[in-house]
Structure 1
Amino acid sequence: MQLQWPSLLISGLLLLAVNSAAAIEGCHKGEQCTMVVYSEQTDTWQIINKSRAERAFSPFSTYKIPNTLILLEKNKVDTKTTYRVNTKAYPPKKWWPNVWHKEEITLKEAFSYSVLPLYQDWTNTLNKPEIKTYLSQFDYGNQDINGPLDGFWLNSSIQVSAFEQIEFLRRLNNKSLGLSEQTYQTFDSIFLQENHADYQLYAKTGAGPIARKTYIGWYVGKIKNARGTHYFAFNMYAPTFNDIVKIRVDKARATLKDLGIL
């Protein structure tokens, strides 16, 4: 049964957790979490809790990665236009963050702050056969989009594992998804979250309920540094949405530090 909780709708809002990363330990063997890292230049895998890494879950807002690619390729969105939520189709809720109420929202803001009603409205301009074609082309997760057109990625039909997230990110980075060069270049600028002298971080969060008192939190992406490109996919459980939002990114980053990636 699909859960319809308001907190599910802001699954990707916070890209940076509130707590200090130094206060949170990384993911360890036996915990209800997993981290998969693939370092391309050395062809090296680092895996914590492999059985969980093989298990497929709802992608929640990490689905905005393939979704944005499809929307760009179909010329449904662009980086020059600013957007506003269609409040007739998606009436505002009291809990909506301020950025969702803005009259001018860029595509990068919509991606980074997971402006779900915008993505739902955009996805409604597509149809299931063309989405299915792209997801098959991408080989993304189980490719099951039988759920609602504007929400099959929200604890519904489509499922993806941490390993599958990594393989998809590798195909994206290697430009082997069958998309235009312009789509790859545009998305790269949207995906980039931190640009430092010694590394660049490309990432997307996601979170939502998969059972009563069980939320999953995702953090997936890639890190480019002097040692090459490192793809990562992390997920964990927490009993509430607030718990997930507070620690998922810091726990993932602490794990990446433990593994020598950050």
Structure 2
Amino acid sequence: MRFQLCALLANGLMLSTSHYTYSQEGCQKDQRCTMVVYSEQTDKWQIINKSRAERAFSPFSTYKIPNTLILLEEQKIDTKTSYKVDTHAYPVQKWWPSVWQSDDIKVKDAFSYSVLPLYQMWTNSLNKPEIKTYLSQFNYGNQDINGPLDEFWLNSSLQISAMEQIEFLRRLDEKTLGLSKQTYQTFDAIFLKQSTSEYQLYAKTGTGPIAKKTYLGWYVGKIENAQGTHYFAFNMHAPSFKEMVNVRVDKAHATLKALKII
């Protein structure tokens, strides 16, 4: 199961780096998706499919947001060092993208390209009491890390809803997670996905199987534009991994466009 899941995640990375388009239909009422947007300056919530927005799911790679914060705070990683996967602990698989096999992986690339075995190595340098303390401090999802130390965020014990993702991102921006100033500043640069003359996009994807012929896809983050800061959390179901990674980001962006955020 571990290698199958990793393969799906890796393949998804290669498919999801295409240019964003808005031809994809956005999330609609009663579809198997949700979008939550909170606009800070206007104190406005926009929610599509509220009951689903309140339903908790595995965070998959969106867990790299709190995980990176913990690792930075504990000084397990830094942005100047180059890293490589320990292939004795995590043997190279034929489906690994080339970036996973590099001897010169920076933290921002590990985050952006979801270098799972590297994050698993880093997480193994922590222990469950440490992680539990941080997730309680963050009030992140159900805070349940009873699953394997290097997999509890991969369709295992840790669960979080779209509404909870928003609240966590707001606490992150408000710097009320109990972390150092340096950690917040460093992570901000890691989280930045795209900067244009009209907006700055901070985002993280996450995808994986949760049941037979059922895949979950996440897209969470924030957009800063002339109207202020807009936090968003999107998730959807798809019957196949290929279908998921072909549409998840486009569908989320189309929804944000329909809600007049971008």
TM-aligned CA distance change 1:121 to 1:42, over 3 Å: same
CA distance in 1, matches of 2:217, 2:14: 11
Q: How many Å apart are 1:70 and its aligned residue?
A: 0.1
CA drift of 1:47 comes to: 0.2
Q: Which residue of 2 aligns with 1:200?
A: 200
Q: Work out the CA distance in 2 between the residues paired with 1:4 and 1:54.
A: 29
- Cα RMSD, aligned residues only: 1.7
1:30 equivalent to 2:27? Answer no
1:3: how far off?
Answer: 9.9
Equivalence for 2:67: 67
Matched position secondary structure for 2:189: helix
| One-letter amino acid of the counterpart of residue 220, structure 1 | V
The change in CA–CA distance for 1:20 and 1:119 in structure 2 (over 3 A counts) is closer
Q: Distance in 2 between matches of 1:4 and 1:164?
A: 28
After superposing on structure 2, the runs of 4+ consecutive aligned residues of structure 1 that deviate more than 3 Å are: 1-9, 14-20
Aligned residues: 262
CA pair 15-54 structure 1, distance change in 2 beyond 3 A: farther
SS in 2 for 1:246: helix
- Superposed displacement of residue 198, structure 1: 1.4
Residue 141 in structure 1 maps to residue 141 in structure 2 = yes
Note the C-alpha offset of 1:244.
Answer: 1.1
The 8 Å contact of residues 165 and 233 in structure 1, kept in 2 or not, is answered as yes
Question: How far apart, in 2, do the equivalents of 1:121 and 1:196 lie?
Answer: 34
State how 1:227-242 maps to structure 2 within 5 Å.
227-242=227-242
Partners of 2:232 and 2:43 in 1: how far apart? 14
Match of 2:111 in 1: 111
TM-score (norm 1): 0.96
> Within 5 A, what are the aligned runs for 1:70-85?
70-85=70-85
Is the 2:6–2:116 contact (alpha carbons within 8 Å) kept by the matching residues of 1?
no
1:124 and 1:260 mapped to 2: Cα distance?
A: 42
Q: Are residue 50 (structure 1) and residue 50 (structure 2) matched?
A: yes
Q: Structure 1 residues 8, 51: closer, same or farther in 2, change over 3 A? A: same
With normalisation by structure 2, the TM-score equals 0.96
Query: How far 1:19 moved relative to its partner?
Result: 7.3
Is structure 2 residue 173 aligned with structure 1 residue 170? no
Distance 1:190 1:135, change over 3 A: same
> Structure 1 residues 19, 247: CA separation in 2 closer, same or farther (over 3 Å shift)?
farther
Cα deviation for residue 61 of structure 1 reads 0.1
Q: In the TM superposition, what is the alpha-carbon distance from 1:8 to its structure 2 partner?
A: 4.3
Distance 1:150 1:193, change over 3 A: same
Q: Residue type matched to 2:208 in 1? A: G
> Which stretches in structure 1 are left out of the alignment for 5+ residues?
none
Give the Å deviation of 1:243: 1.2
Provide closer, same or farther for how the CA distance between residues 261 and 100 of structure 1 changes in structure 2, counting only shifts above 3 A: same
Supply the distance in 2 between the matched residues of 1:256 and 1:238 (Cα, whole angstroms). Answer: 19
CA distance in 1, matches of 2:3, 2:160: 18
Output one character per residue of 1:180-227: Cα deviation in whole Å (capped at 9) or x when no partner. Answer: 000000000000000111110000000000000000000000000011
Question: Any idea what the Cα deviations from partners look like across 1:20-45, whole Å, max 9, x if unmatched?
Answer: 62321100001000000000000000
Q: CA deviation at 1:96?
A: 0.5
Q: What is the deviation of 1:155?
A: 0.2
**1:261 is the counterpart of 2:261:** yes
Closer/same/farther in 2, CA of residues 251 and 229 from structure 1, 3 Å limit = same
Give ranges in structure 2 of 5+ residues lacking alignment: none
